[in-house]
Structure 1
């Protein structure tokens, strides 16, 4: 195994990919998932119409929330310009999205969000940062609030020459450790977890460069 990949280089990679509109091996330009679409369609009118999208990437989930009538705080470590260009003249819903450039672990959750989305971002954080972030989100949640998380566990990364790679400071969850943390943090919520195998190919070699077990979490706070 080589030394850890720096978080700065990861940030530079995603900044370049989003600014150029490139669809990377992980499919950054993908549409929202069917599970998320089903959740969004099921949300009652009583749910506060303000949402948080942590790690918005290309902006697809933030846009879906805005189209559904939510005011969206969209947070990512990359510059906001690509999302602002995508929103320019997009429609009456575009003004509902407020992009903020900020590391996910540095964002302070100090209000009630009817919906929180964190897709493919939390596994990059250190475990204490994930716990602090989600614990704060739960502490500030009200009745009828929903959290939708997609988190990679059991990650194996390889370079083009087959060397094992890891990202500096990443959580390194196993499915079991992630489940334990989620069940503890969301102990009073209705909790649904889905598990699926995930793989990405290196376009240069055709070999898998990323393998993981993706955890999809749908947490609903039914309390009044």
Structure 2
């Protein structure tokens, strides 16, 4: 039977890692990949220059969005101090970022954000919370928007003895169930999903303790929503 870890223990682990600048399997302090910077550079000029970073972690994507000219709301239950300290090292960036310490599933999305980023965080939520959160983002969209998501599916975690580990309340999507959720939520948007296999290994023993299929999702609304309509009919899957 799998061992279940509480969300409280997960929060404590990441809070400690961020405060002490420690590395984690996700490499929280790694630079933003070039493909994301290319995506930012290709955004249309009329996109609203306000962004939401769900799950800011060490702040790499928050900083990239601010450097690209966005005013950013960064939301995470992780401690804000490490991100605020990091922002202070960049001239004029801190004034463009609002940091909100909150569970991301409890943050109400009621604003038309030009860009929304959620990297390596949604899989910790329940499927219900993931879909409510993304549906709020879609319903609040009134203009040209971009959502960039990296979501782990088909997750397998094991401890040093090979026993399966589950996180309390996590989504546990399969690629198929996550694809179906995207189809329901992003009706009328241009959606591209890239799938790749992801593994994490212990640095000393080289034991693989985490395996998953990662979905990198780019969902774009190309034209403003009609007046009085929260979404457009039809969907083009790229």
- TM normalised by structure 2 equals 0.92
SS in structure 2 at match of 1:193: strand
Contact 1:55/1:76 (CA < 8 Å) preserved in 2? yes
Is residue 94 of structure 1 aligned with residue 130 of structure 2?
A: no
Is residue 112 of structure 1 aligned with residue 87 of structure 2?
A: no
| d(CA) in 1 for partners of 2:94, 2:88 | 8
Tell me the residue number matched to 1:78. Answer: 78
The offset of 1:160, in angstroms, is: 1.6
The offset of 1:161, in angstroms, is: 1.8
Contact 2:53/2:74 (CA < 8 Å) preserved in 1? yes
The offset of 1:94, in angstroms, is: 2.5
Contact 1:55/1:118 (CA < 8 Å) preserved in 2? yes
The offset of 1:205, in angstroms, is: 2.3
| d(CA) in 2 for partners of 1:34, 1:152 | 20
Tell me the residue number matched to 1:125. Answer: 125
Q: Deviations over 1:122-177 (max 9, x none)?
A: 00000000010000000001221000000000000011221110100000000000
Contact 1:142/1:221 (CA < 8 Å) preserved in 2? no
The offset of 1:31, in angstroms, is: 1.2
SS in structure 1 at match of 2:128: helix
| d(CA) in 1 for partners of 2:196, 2:3 | 28
Tell me the residue number matched to 1:207. Answer: 207
- 1:29-178 matched pairs, under 5 angstroms: 29-178=29-178
SS in structure 1 at match of 2:196: strand
Tell me the residue number matched to 1:23. Answer: 23
- TM normalised by structure 1 equals 0.97
The offset of 1:106, in angstroms, is: 0.5
Q: Which consecutive aligned stretches of 4+ in structure 1 deviate over 2 angstroms post-superposition?
A: none
The offset of 1:35, in angstroms, is: 2.7
Contact 2:3/2:164 (CA < 8 Å) preserved in 1? no
Q: Deviations over 1:34-61 (max 9, x none)?
A: 3311210111120001000000100000
How many residues were matched structurally? 224
Unaligned ranges ≥5, structure 2: 225-238
CA RMSD of aligned residues (A): 1.0
